[in-house]
Structure 1
């Protein structure tokens, strides 16, 4: 789970950087909020999920982690697509934006529950060395 999140995060990072570069080159910053969400929810958040799941493999193996992964990885693109369409003036894109956003929020709540359930339960990669984070 940790490796998967880190790989997906790097894809979002690349997309975010390319989007920022493109906006700068063409001087069209209408999609700044999309660029910010790609970098925050795609790159930073998924990288942190990946690092935490690498450090706490019991959390990564849980059903909560798998459900959270799919909610986040379906919710983010749906939400971002909806925001793009709204910026372009498609008012009918509001419902998908809301649905994607709710999926992300539910995923984040599941992540929080998973962290409280497994982090600190002696399930770290280095637990045999009595190292805790």
Structure 2
């Protein structure tokens, strides 16, 4: 679980890097909230979680770890797709932002509970 989280986090890093590069080259920063969320929730948060899963393998022995991983990695792309549309002035996919946000929050609450209960 730790290595899997770290490996997927670097994909979010690459996405954030390319998005930042695009915005810089185009001098168009309307997608800055997407860039920030991909980097913070995708790269940073998943990397830290992955390191904790790797250092403390007892955290991976629970459904909470798998729930965190899948809710986070299904929810974040949905949230980002909806956010791209929302910050571009199109609210037709706002439901993706909302559903994705709830999934990420639920996943991270699984992580929080897992750490608080199972980290000895």
Higher helix share: 2
Deviation, 1:52, is 0.5
- TM-score scaled by length of structure 1: 0.87
Does structure 2 retain, via aligned residues, the 8 Å contact 1:5–1:46?
yes
- TM-score scaled by length of structure 2: 0.96
Q: Distance in 1 between matches of 2:111 and 2:9?
A: 16
Q: Distance in 2 between matches of 1:73 and 1:86?
A: 20
Q: Which residue of 2 aligns with 1:11?
A: 11
Deviation, 1:113, is 0.5
**Is residue 25 of structure 2 the alignment partner of residue 25 of structure 1?**
yes
Does structure 2 retain, via aligned residues, the 8 Å contact 1:56–1:118?
no
Does structure 2 retain, via aligned residues, the 8 Å contact 1:71–1:104?
yes
Gaps of 5+ in 2: none
Kindly tell me the number of residue pairs found equivalent between the two proteins: 120
Gaps of 5+ in 1: 122-133
Over aligned residues, Cα RMSD in angstroms?
A: 0.8
Q: Which residue of 1 aligns with 2:99?
A: 99
Deviation, 1:61, is 2.2
Larger radius of gyration: 1
Cα offsets for 1:57-81 (capped at 9, x unmatched): 0111211100111000000000000
